[in-house]
């Protein structure tokens, strides 16, 4: 079965640079979520989209933005990168109805030097 695809899998950037992470949800899923997981920490919710509209917002810094496109893929844009942005970034997708289970991608490991 098709899974959530994330690209790139690894990304190295320098401080103050920008980064764009991409997520391709499972076909026919209408909701996409972004999570950030720092070293040794639990995943933290950043933002979600339902039918291409932002549906919920968590602890996403103002330097980050995201959108969902007409083909349902989503991109997380990160600007003015800081060392503390180094983390695993997961994308998940789901149907909007119950029981709401989310399917996660393999993640993008971002390293900021």
Partner 1 sequence: DAKTTQPNSMESNEEEPVHLPCNHSTISGTDYIHWYRQLPSQGPEYVIHGLTSNVNNRMASLAIAEDRKSSTLILHRATLRDAAVYYCILLNTGNQFYFGTGTSLTVIP
Binding site for partner 1 (CB under 8 A): 4, 31, 33, 35, 42-45, 48, 50, 55-56, 58, 88, 90, 92, 94-107, 109
Q: Cα dist. 12→15, 49, 85, 101, 110 in Å?
A: 10, 26, 11, 31, 6
Our CB check for partner 1 shows the closer of 15 and 57 to be 57
Shortest Cβ distance from residue 16 to partner 1 (Å)?
27
Our CB check for partner 1 shows the closer of 48 and 68 to be 48
Shortest Cβ distance from residue 70 to partner 1 (Å)?
20
In 3D, which of 58, 49, 47, 54 has the Cα closest to residue 29?
A: 49
Q: Cα dist. 56→6, 45, 92 in Å?
A: 21, 9, 14
Shortest Cβ distance from residue 65 to partner 1 (Å)?
17
Shortest Cβ distance from residue 68 to partner 1 (Å)?
14
Our CB check for partner 1 shows the closer of 8 and 16 to be 8
Our CB check for partner 1 shows the closer of 68 and 94 to be 94
For 9, other C-beta atoms within 10 Å of its C-beta total 11
Rg of the Cα trace of the chain? Answer: 13
3-class SS of residue 85:
helix
């Amino acid at each position: 079965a098709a899974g959530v695809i994330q690209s790139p899998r690894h990304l190295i950037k320098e401080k103050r640079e920008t980064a764009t992470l991409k997520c391709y949800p499972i076909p026919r899923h209408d909701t996409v979520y972004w999570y950030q997981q720092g070293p040794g920490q639990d995943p933290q919710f950043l933002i979600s989209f339902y039918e291409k509209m932002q549906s919920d917002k968590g602890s996403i810094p103002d330097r980050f933005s995201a959108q969902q496109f007409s083909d349902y893929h989503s991109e997380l844009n990160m600007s003015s990168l800081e060392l503390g942005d180094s983390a695993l970034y997961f994308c998940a997708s789901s149907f909007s109805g119950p029981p709401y289970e989310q399917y996660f991608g393999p993640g993008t490991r971002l390293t900021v030097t």
